Structure 1
Amino acid sequence: MTAVDERGMTRFFEEFEPPEGVRVELLRGEIVMMAGPDLVHNMIVEDVLDQIPRKQWARLQTQDVDIVDEASEPVPDLVVLKRDATPEAGRLLPSELITLVVEVVSKTSVVRDYLVKRSIYAAGKVPAYLIIDPVMGHCVLFTLPVGEGDAADYTAQLKLGFGDRLPLDMLGIGLDTSGFGTFPGVRPHRFP
C-alpha cells in the first residue's frame, strides 16, 4: 500500500462507524474489526488495573493511540502513562506520552498482538509493551524499542509464566499474575 493510500485510509477511518458491539483498529492502513472480548480477557485487564497505583499512573482502557508516521491507530486493552502527562481531551493519545501498553491475547488476535502491534508500538517508541497470553498461560514484556516503520522492534524481552511475579520496573511494581485465567481447549501457538 502506498503512503497516499495509507493517509486516505486514515481519513476514512476517522469517519468510519462500526456496527454496535464491534471494536475497530487501524493497523498499518488496514481496518481490523473484532468482537467484544471474552470474560477471561476482561478479568485479566481488571486484575492488572487493580495493581497499578492510580495516584501515580493514568490507566486507560481501550484508548485510541496515535503512532507518529504510521497509518495506525491501535486500541490497546490498557494504556498506562504518568498521571500528570495525561491530556485533558482528545480521541487520540500520542504514543510518546505512554509508559506501557498492555494487550491481552484473544483466540483470534495472536498474530496481530505478537507481530503487527509489537512492530507498531516499537515504531511509536512506546517504552514497554506487555502481552498477557491466556492461550499459553504466560506474559511477555518487550522493552527498548528501536527502528522505524515495519522494521521497528523491541530489543529486550522477558517471558514469565502465569503465577510468577512480573517486574514492571517502569511502573515501580511487580505484577502478580497468579490470578490470571486461561482459555480452556484452545490450540497452542508458537509465539513469542
Structure 2
Amino acid sequence: MSIVATSHHYRELPDTPYNLWMRDELADLLELPHDGTRAEIIDGEIVVSPGPDIAHNFIVQDIWHAFSAARVVDASFPWRCVATQDVNLSEIHDGYIPDLCFLRQETAAGIRRAQIKKALPEHLGLVLEVTSPTNASDDRLPGKRRAKPTKWNGYARACIPYYLLVDRDPEVAQVTLYSEPEFAVWEYKESTSWAFGETIALPEPFALEIPTDEWEPWLRHGF
C-alpha cells in the first residue's frame, strides 16, 4: 500500500504501518536517522517528528526531577517515570511515544521482570507530551491543523487516566491536565490549566507540585 508520512515522502510498505511499528521495522524502512527522530502511528497514519530542542528536553527533565524528588522525600511515593517509551494502543492500531510515561511502582517492577518492550495503556497512570512547532497539532484536541483524531483522542480512547500536555506555542504557553477519559467518544471530560510561570498542582493520586518559572515558549523565528 502507499503510505504517506509527515515528511511527505511516499513509499510502498510490505505491511501495515502499525504492524511494522510493532515489529520495530518501520523506522528502518523509512530510512530515518538515529538522532531522536520519532515515527508514530496516529489514527493509522505514520507521523514522523524530528528530535526535540533543548528547551523541550529541560521541561521534560523538570517534571522527571519533581517525581524523583518526591521519591527521595517519601520512599512510599508510588510513581515511577520512563522517557520515550513506546505505547501500544492495540485496540485502535496506533503506536505513540510520549515524552514521559508514569507507572505505579509495582507495575513498573512487573514490566521490568517481564522485559516488556511496548507498554500498554493499562500500565500507565499518566502520560506527558510537550509540544514542538512541527507536531503540536498531533498532541492537542483536533482543530484546524489536524481535524482527524489526535493523540489526545487516542489516550482518552485507551482510558489512560491522566494526560499532561505542556503547550509551548507562544500563543498558548500553558500546561493542561486532562482527566476523566470517556471511552465511547474518545475524549477527556475534565481539564485544569496553568499558565507558564504558575505552579502545577497535580491532584491525587500524585499530590505533587511542579514549578514552571523557567519554562519558555518556543521561538517564532526558528527551532
TM-score range relative to shorter protein: 0.7 to 0.9
- Contact preservation (8 Å) 1:68, 1:95: no
3-state SS of the aligned residue for 2:190?
A: strand
For residues 136-186 of structure 1, the C-alpha deviation after alignment (integer angstroms, 9 at most, x for no partner) is 2210111000034xx300000111101112221131212212221221236
Q: In the alignment, which of 41, 47, 51 is matched to residue 32 of structure 1?
A: 47
For residues 53-82 of structure 1, the C-alpha deviation after alignment (integer angstroms, 9 at most, x for no partner) is 345321111000122411111000011111
Pairs aligned (count): 179
4+ residue runs of structure 1 moved beyond 3 angstroms?
none
Q: In the alignment, which of 14, 20, 29 is matched to residue 12 of structure 1?
A: 20
Q: How does 1:88-99 map to 2 (within 5 A)?
A: 88=112, 89-99=115-125
Distance 1:112 1:186 in 2: 21
> Which sections of structure 1, spanning at least 5 residues, go unmatched?
1-6, 188-192
Distance 2:89 2:217 in 1: 30
Return closer, same or farther for 1:24/1:9 CA change in 2, 3 Å cut-off: closer
The structure that has the greater radius of gyration is 2
Return closer, same or farther for 1:154/1:186 CA change in 2, 3 Å cut-off: farther
Q: Quote the residue 1:63 is aligned against.
A: 85
Percent identical pairs in the alignment equals: 27
For residues 91-121 of structure 1, the C-alpha deviation after alignment (integer angstroms, 9 at most, x for no partner) is 2101111111000010112210003010000
3-state SS of the aligned residue for 2:16?
A: helix
Distance 2:211 2:165 in 1: 14
How does the TM-score come out when normalised to structure 2?
0.75
3-state SS of the aligned residue for 2:94?
A: coil
Q: How does 1:171-190 map to 2 (within 5 A)?
A: 171-185=206-220
3-state SS of the aligned residue for 1:73?
A: strand
- Contact preservation (8 Å) 2:101, 2:127: yes
Q: How does 1:66-145 map to 2 (within 5 A)?
A: 66-86=88-108, 87-88=111-112, 89-115=115-141, 116-135=150-169, 136-145=172-181
Amino acid at match of 2:214: G
How does the TM-score come out when normalised to structure 1?
0.86
Q: What RMSD, in angstroms, separates the aligned Cα atoms of the two structures?
A: 1.8
Q: In the alignment, which of 192, 209, 219 is matched to residue 158 of structure 1?
A: 192
Distance 1:93 1:152 in 2: 20
3-state SS of the aligned residue for 2:102?
A: strand
3-state SS of the aligned residue for 1:183?
A: coil
- Contact preservation (8 Å) 2:86, 2:96: yes
Distance 2:133 2:120 in 1: 28
3-state SS of the aligned residue for 2:95?
A: coil
Q: Which has the higher contact order (CA 8 A, sep 6+)?
A: 1
Q: In the alignment, which of 27, 35, 38 is matched to residue 23 of structure 1?
A: 38
Amino acid at match of 2:158: G
3-state SS of the aligned residue for 1:93?
A: coil
3-state SS of the aligned residue for 2:140?
A: helix
